[in-house]
Chain A
Amino acid sequence: MDIGRFLKSARQGFSLGWKVESNWTDPWLFSIYSIIRPFASLLIVAFIYIIGSQAGGTVNPEFLAYLLVGNTFFIYAATILLTMGWLLHDDREHYEVFKHIYISPGTIHSYLLGRGLAAASIATVSVVLTLVFGAALFNLPIDPLAINYPLLIASVAVGVPSLIFTGYMLYGVSLVSAKLEWALGEYVSGIFFLLAGVIFPPEVLPTWVQPLSNVLPLTYFLRVVRASMLSPGAPLPASDLLYLVLYSLATAALGLVVFRLAEQRAKKRGLIDMKAVY
């Protein structure tokens, strides 16, 4: 594989992704747009906590911090999965450029990686802004000087690619079926929202569901992120970090296999440039 060429087309995929997502307006309005939706989502869970804790008489500021940090870092999952779940529809049916991308030699993987990283970059802007505003507004026990930054960066560096490879699977499924492509990302991110311990501990789930939670890289991603921000002085969550790496590697392998199988099937059945207008 020509690494230089791969990186060049990944950079072009990133640049294209960034422009498609952001050039519909001026940068100032785009910044506001990037913050309003995640911030409203943060306010929903914050007010559920405030109203629920008043009604139930259970005041637990640690739990507020738990759910606000989880909800904020879930922005990565929502943005990447929604973008990559919708991407093939956009490329193939809307802008009608997929066949050109696909026939460019050795481009599709680097292109997908670039688009995924562009989504992750946009999510990073939203995560940082939402976290800053959220921490200030709700007086979260987060000390910017005490955050374990190496652990935080490591968790993002492993967790985000696992989401991009999940996006690979969605892209692959969309290659062979137009039935779900417009909502696939929403469905998968909805499952993750419920199972991955985003706004409540997975132990609250029925016991028969918990094994599903335990194999999601996002579950460990959020645990490590919380450990780095909310209890930076505590011992390193080595097992969570290990599971994050292992399940992320498994997701990457699965993503590539699903994509490859879907690609072969699409070629065999002549679906590569299918325009279903479903």
Chain B
Amino acid sequence: MSHSRGFLTELELNLRAAYARAWVRIVGGNREPMWIAFEVILPIMTLSAYVFVYRVLNAPPEFTGFVVIGGMMLAFWLNVLWNMAAQLYWEKETGNLTHFLIAPISRMAILLGMALGGAVNTTLRAIAILVFGTYIFQVEYTIGDPFTAMLIFILTLVALYALGMLFSSLFLLYGREAWHTANLFQEPVFFVSGFYFPVNLLPFWIQVAASILPITFGLDGIRNVLINGAQLDGVYVHILVLLLFIAILLPLARWGLAYMERLAKKEGRLTLRWI
């Protein structure tokens, strides 16, 4: 009985910690209206450049839709890289990490809060990118099944943020190297995951390389439903693969965090700044 109450108390504590971390992220990320405006305008400017190239080449109009949806999902990838994976590094550099570590809560609760807050903030921006991009470039969609699109979208977010949780543990141990590694994960992933063109048009070996990332399957599945009019039976493989990613990445993130924390404590550089 006491064990059960202890578990519930611990669960409540961790959920409250996750909520608190998410709240800080949501409020903190939206406290400057200028940030929201720029975070919508900048991706639209970048995707506009690629849309103009397709137009110079007289590519069919659906390519504009590919780019706009890619631009929308790109916001999530950048959020996972810089506000999930790199976040514990920033917390270390600003001195907050010590407080997280001495708090009697699971590190996963903090990461969960960061993920939820980041997902909420980024979803708002992604919707704005989608709406403005669609309006500016007059994108036409052939939506197969909106519920399937929503299911793939949610599964993609869960898998992506689980990947971000896993990456964040690496940042506990590696400082500037990991920061530069995150830098490296920008353009190469934009390329292999097909943010600006359908991934199935890339050479086979690049598709194989891209298949290690959940965003590749999520992006391809969402495009298939929204632009090519696919139904559930046309994207069930995407859904199964995303579920597999979640089943692997979440436990791996938990294990990775515990391992890196142990190692960093042993080496005595867990909260060491400027390295």
Residues of A within 8 A of B (CB): 24-25, 33, 36-38, 40-41, 43-45, 47-49, 51-53, 55-58, 60, 63, 67, 94-95, 179-180, 183, 186-187, 190-191, 193-194, 198-201, 204-205, 277
| A56 and B60 within 8 A (CB) | yes
Contact of B59 with A by CB under 8 A: yes
CA distance A194 to B22 in the complex (A): 34
Selected interface stretch from B165-173, B179-187, B242-250: B179-187
Contact of B231 with A by CB under 8 A: no
| B59 and A95 within 8 A (CB) | no
Write the B149-190 contact mask toward A (1 if CB under 8 angstroms, else 0).
000000000000000000000000000110010011011101
| B38 and A48 within 8 A (CB) | no
Interface residues in B219-275 by Cβ distance below 8 A to A read 274
Contacts A51-B201, A179-B32 given; indicate if A187 touches B56 (C-beta within 8 A).
no
Q: Hey, which chain B residues are within 8 Å of A43, CB to CB? A: 191
Known contacts A36-B184, A63-B56; 6 additional CB pairs below 8 A are: A24-B176, A25-B180, A40-B187, A48-B196, A52-B53, A183-B42
Q: Hey, which chain A residues are within 8 Å of B142, CB to CB? A: none
CA distance A139 to B198 in the complex (A): 24
| B52 and A204 within 8 A (CB) | yes
Assign chain B's interface to a size class.
35 or more
| B56 and A47 within 8 A (CB) | no
Contacts A37-B183, A57-B58, A58-B58 given; indicate if A52 touches B190 (C-beta within 8 A).
no
Q: Hey, which chain B residues are within 8 Å of A33, CB to CB? A: 180, 183-184
Rounded to whole Å, the gap between the CB of B275 and the closest CB of chain A is: 9
Contact of B63 with A by CB under 8 A: yes
CA distance A49 to B56 in the complex (A): 10
| A198 and B180 within 8 A (CB) | no
Q: Hey, which chain A residues are within 8 Å of B134, CB to CB? A: none
| A199 and B197 within 8 A (CB) | no
| B38 and A183 within 8 A (CB) | yes
Q: Hey, which chain A residues are within 8 Å of B195, CB to CB? A: 44
| B45 and A193 within 8 A (CB) | yes
| B50 and A37 within 8 A (CB) | no
Rounded to whole Å, the gap between the CB of A77 and the closest CB of chain B is: 13
B55's nearest neighbour on chain A, judged by CB, is: A204
